[in-house]
Structure 1
Amino acid sequence: MTDKKKYWFPAKRFGWGWGLPTTWQGWVVVLAFFVLLAVGGAYLQPHRGNGLFLIYAGVLCVLLTVVCWLKGEPPGSRRGE
């Protein structure tokens, strides 16, 4: 058994941030993000206007970033090493 931590989101090879998920849990998070974004767009935009949808999308982006921060490889600037 290895003690190596399994990250849901690996660090990007170039730049800062995370790449595509490498585990099924990461893919579920990304899929849920896009489904919630689509549902919010279909429901909020026509009935409530753009402002509420932008706030909703911003909250979803913050939540996705928090999950990536907690379950992803530590971010940092990389130059392809």
Structure 2
Amino acid sequence: MKDERPWFAPKRYGYGAGLPIAWQGWAVLAVYIIVMIAPAPLIERDPIIGLAIVAPIWLVATILVIFIAKRKTRGGWRFRDGEEE
């Protein structure tokens, strides 16, 4: 059984996704925030080595969140100018 319900609302203005509208979207956002914040002590201890280790992880996490949000946004991603659909 495949669930095709959207996890994110579309932005009213511009291109992309807005806030999550389902628990799955909130879970994706929470995990992303944790991945972005958790390495702070490592970066604080040694910024050069910390960023060398963490930057690729941040890049992959960001690409993954963008991919998920694009696939799971109601109505897909397209430019919107504020008009209701």
Q: Same fold (TM over 0.5)?
A: yes
Unaligned runs of 5+ in 2: none
Unaligned runs of 5+ in 1: none
Residue 12 of structure 1 contacts residue 18 of structure 1 at CA under 8 Å; is this kept in 2? yes
Matched AA of 2:35 = L
Look up the match of 2:71. Answer: 70
Q: Give the Å deviation of 1:40.
A: 2.8
Q: Give the Å deviation of 1:36.
A: 1.3
Instruction: Give the paired residue count.
Output: 76
Matches of 1:49 and 1:35 in 2, distance apart? Answer: 16
Look up the match of 2:62. Answer: 61
Matched residues, percent identical?
Answer: 28
CA RMSD of aligned residues (A): 1.6
Matched AA of 2:80 = R
Structure 2 SS opposite 1:75: coil
TM-score normalised by the chain length of structure 1: 0.80
Look up the match of 1:16. Answer: 15
Q: Mean alpha-carbon deviation: is it higher for 25-34 or for 63-72?
A: 63-72
